[in-house]
Chains A and B, each alone.
Chain A
């Protein structure tokens, strides 16, 4: 095992992002899609921290704190919408939500 470099972090970040994206694209359950989005946000946060660590600055770290706070708020709003939709349509399947088209 060699030294820990920024590339390792970036590979982890990329892997997490792709996992999240695939989840968003393939799953139909709104809750899981929301969780996958959170995964993608987390992946981006990791790359922020990685670059901050590599360049020895604090800007990236601080940015991540903001991103976490915003992600938490977003999760709250997202969950609220899902709850409202599931109550209205008795379903959390995104394929049932086609009213934009018609």
Chain B
């Protein structure tokens, strides 16, 4: 099996090459017949890898070639698949495959069809390589590659100005995070003298034994914080979260695959991968917890007031990523990965449902202009409802098991700050249920708030319906791989990847207490949403009018965009203006143009010499001769001595 590892990323790469080279001329609207089978092949192989690792309990690795041989610094391009990788492979290839199938319907008739089906396999390839990487440098390369794919796909509708801006924003904000990641990699290499992950000399083993090796605790703290800054760029944690809501400018399948299920979890994956660095430093763990818990709560409050269907789900993604981050920070590693997996399925489902709604509503995204869609698109309604229930954490759907484990894991954490994170998590869980069902009630229930005579919403075709149903089923059942809580197949399987931390052991009482508590909180959120947005007992408008400052604050997304605009964008723009108008035009251009003008003016003078009169030339020859002879006679002969 290990010999076939390379095929997993190779198949989507081949699909990318074929579609990007031949797409325009030959393949055109049939590009999905190249991309979908390739990703399906990756899915089959990923499944085989998962089963193989489950049987043998040994990680697989395959050495491809030596990438950088340079003295003591050797980088090999190798693939490495352990239990954590196997789970990530399954998530990426499953959601990737379903999104590919869905896109066939969603992107049908788009002039850039082949381009879309080139970038999408390229992303799947990069993401698979990212999770298969066995050293920091290869991880970093594909970390950037998924960022590039994200950029290309956010800006897919490049004729739209907002899409181009959103793509650039995502790229630039990620650069800030990548600066931290890059510094973290350098610090790791500087400290450990290697960038390989595994083996006794690998960074993780060294990080675990850092005290015996005489590495200062401060170094580990700094390394953890730098790596998490990198992770918070990709996983959109505060304060680098601003790009993700704007990334919704991309086509909806892209939002589902990249900005909900896979790429944004790369940061969580990277932190989980380097867990020995983080458990070496309580400060770094506290940092991760604070950022994660704050993001979870902040994003949930913003989601309450937004009106764009995709943005609400995007803020929900932010919030759930915050859950994963603080789960990691409080030491609930397996729970974080569990939530990563269940979230990939139900959030992918929610985004694809959004796509179906937008498609059926003819590109309308404002939930205030929807309503009553339940009877127009029943399949979308039922699948979306399942996704929403899973996201809200209702028993027994996938989100319930994983979110419950995070809340409980934080509560019983070895770290003193764990219970605080757990309380914040409960608050965010209430808000999650509230905003999810605000969305559901406003979109699918009540009266139509659009012109029914002109707009006829319709259910989507089979290409789009099948992935919705598959993901809805997954959102229901996938939580049971982690049943019973903290003792399921998933925990025993994934715990191999976290062998240096103790498994959480929970009592039945704790499980039931937390399960009941989180269900009550979630049902409370749904009930408030029901009263407000369905029955109308509580008026949302009246609430907004009573607390205008709070409403405006949330509606404007905590003014982060404005704040960053004031602090970073505007000074930078002024500085760029200075460089452009003063330095470039005033100094550099002026110097170049000055030289050109000077030469031109001198030449104008000099060309007067060329009169064209033979006599003048002859005179010049004669005078020159006289001059030469004169100098010769004066200097070299003794005639005048």
Q: Does A28 touch B at the CB level, under 8 Å?
A: yes
Whole-angstrom CA separation of A21 from B620 in the bound complex: 12
Cα–Cα, bound, A94→B614 (Å): 6
Q: Which of B57-65, B441-449, B605-613 contacts A (4 or more CB under 8 A)?
A: B605-613
Question: Interface digits, B598-637 against A, CB 8 Å rule (1 contact, 0 not)?
Answer: 0000000000001111110011001000000000000000
Task: Give 1 or 0 for each of A22-42: 1 = CB within 8 Å of chain B CB.
Answer: 001110100000000000000
Task: Mark A residues whose CB is within 8 Å of B.
Answer: 21, 24-26, 28, 94-95, 97-102
Q: How far is the CA of A25 from the CA of B613 in the complex (A)?
A: 11
Is there an interface contact between B612 and A101, defined as CB atoms closer than 8 Å? yes
In the assembled complex, the Cα of A95 lies from the Cα of B618 at a distance in Å of: 12
Are B615 and A95 in touch, CB under 8 angstroms? yes
Contact status A94-B615, CB under 8 Å: yes
- Closest-by-CB residue of A relative to B613 is A95
Asked whether B612 lies within 8 Å of A25 as measured between CB atoms, the reply is: no
Choose among A25, A99, A100, A101 the residue that contacts B615 (Cβ–Cβ < 8 A): A25
CA distance A86 to B380 in the complex (A): 98
In the assembled complex, the CB of B58 is this many whole angstroms from the nearest CB of chain A, namely: 88
Please measure, in the bound complex, the distance between the C-alpha atom of A21 and the C-alpha atom of B610, giving whole angstroms.
Answer: 21
20 new A-B contacts, CB < 8 A, other than A25-B618, A26-B615, A98-B611, are A21-B622, A24-B618, A24-B622, A25-B619, A25-B622, A28-B615, A94-B613, A94-B614, A94-B615, A95-B613, A95-B614, A95-B615, A97-B614, A98-B612, A98-B613, A99-B612, A100-B612, A101-B611, A101-B612, A102-B612
Inter-chain CA distance A102–B615, complex, in Å, is 17
The secondary-structure label for the interface of chain B is helix
Nearest Cβ in chain A — how far from B628, in angstroms?
14
**Shortest distance between the CB of A100 and any CB in chain B (Å):** 6
Q: Which residues of B contact A28 (CB under 8 A)?
A: 615
* Complex Cα–Cα for A28 and B611 (A): 15
Nearest first, the 3 closest Cβ-Cβ pairs linking A and B are A101-B612, A98-B612, A94-B614
A98 to B614, CA, bound (A): 8
Do B619 and A101 have beta carbons less than 8 Å apart? Answer: no
Q: Which residues of B contact A25 (CB under 8 A)?
A: 615, 618-619, 622
What residues on A are CB-neighbors of B612 within 8 Å?
Answer: 98-102
Report the minimum CB–CB distance from B610 to chain A (whole Å). Answer: 6
A24→B618 CA distance, assembly (Å): 8
Distance in angstroms between the alpha carbons of A101 and B618 in the assembled complex: 15
Give CA–CA (A87, B615) in the complex, Å: 21
CB-CB under 8 A from B619, the residues of chain A are: 25
Cα A21 to Cα B629 in complex, Å, equals: 15
CB distance from B363 to the nearest CB of A (A): 67
Q: Do A101 and B614 touch across chains, with their CB atoms under 8 A apart? A: no
- Which residues of the other chain, B, contact A95 by a CB distance below 8 angstroms? 613-615
Could you jot down 25 A-B contacts, CB within 8 Å? A21-B622, A24-B618, A24-B622, A25-B615, A25-B618, A25-B619, A25-B622, A26-B615, A28-B615, A94-B613, A94-B614, A94-B615, A95-B613, A95-B614, A95-B615, A97-B614, A98-B611, A98-B612, A98-B613, A99-B612, A100-B612, A101-B610, A101-B611, A101-B612, A102-B612
Chain B: minimal CB distance from A78 (Å): 13
Measured between beta carbons, the chain A residues less than 8 angstroms from B613 are 94-95, 98
Closest to A100 in B: B612
User: What mask results when residues 181 to 211 of chain B are scored 1 for a CB within 8 Å of chain A, else 0?
Assistant: 0000000000000000000000000000000
Q: How far is the CA of A21 from the CA of B611 in the complex (A)?
A: 20
- Residues of B508-541 at the interface with A, using a CB-CB cut-off of 8 Å, are none
Shortest CB distance A80–B (Å): 18
Q: In the bound complex, how far is the Cα of B610 from the Cα of A97, in angstroms?
A: 13
Q: How far is the CA of A102 from the CA of B613 in the complex (A)?
A: 11
| Contacting residues, chain B, for A102 (C-beta < 8 A) | 612
Within 8 A of A (CB), among B490-512: none
Shortest C-beta distance, B466 to chain A (Å), equals: 80
Q: Which residue of A lies closest to B617 (CB)?
A: A100
Q: Once bound together, how far apart are the Cα atoms of A95 and B616, in whole Å?
A: 10
Complex: A24 Cα to B610 Cα, angstroms? 19
Whole-angstrom distance between the Cβ of B623 and the nearest chain A Cβ: 10
Q: Tell me the bound Cα distance from A90 to B612 in angstroms.
A: 19
Chain B residue contacts of A101, Cβ below 8 A: 610-612
